[in-house]
A and B are shown apart, each in its own frame.
Chain A
Amino acid sequence: MKVRDRWERWEALDAAALFVVFDDPDLIRRTMLDGIDPEALPFPVLVDRDRRTYDAWGLARARRRDIWLDPNVYKVYWRLLRAGDKLRPGGTDVYQLGGDFVIAPDGAIAYARPQQRDDRPPVGELLNAAKASRSS
């Protein structure tokens, strides 16, 4: 969670964050959090088991070729393995895509980047959107 590493920059904007996941909470604790106490995070990790919220926010499922023919997927695995990480069991649906949104203080969408494949915007781009949403 790169956002957590630069959390002071979000605090400086008096911004909040909500992270949403859909997997089983036990799997999330074992893999994504990997021992981190969720209570110690500066934002909640929310669970959408039936993915109704993913659907309501228009988050699609990837096409097979967009996941398995994406060279970045293999680069990430290779980097993790070289760093001594271990392969972990995958989640319940490797094709479900996510996305990042910044909501302005007035409740309107200020920034929207639903995933088309397994990619994420730079944290700086999200911070800039949050900052701009304060002045618009």
Chain B
Amino acid sequence: MPSAPQPGDPAPELALPDLSGETHGLADLPGRPVLVSFLRHAG
């Protein structure tokens, strides 16, 4: 498994479906700061 990206690194690719199946990703949000928050388990 790769190590987590560090400040200054290019962001790894991210494009995933939402709960309705529509795909969203970083490529849809150019020129804006983006918070990417990976959550732990639901519940």
* Contacts from A to B (Cβ < 8 Å): 3, 10, 13-23, 25, 27-29, 31-32, 38-39, 44-48, 53-60, 88-94, 96-105, 107-112, 114-115, 118, 126, 130-131, 133-134
Contacts and interface: CB of A to CB of B under 8 A. Distances in A.
A57 B18 contact: no
Given A114-B4, A118-B40, A16 B9 contact: no
Nearest to A132: B33
Give the bracket for the number of chain B residues in contact with chain A. 35 or more
A45 B35 contact: no
Given A15-B32, A91-B41, A93-B41, A46 B18 contact: yes
B43 A27 contact: yes
Interface string B1-43: 1111111111111101111101011100111111111111111
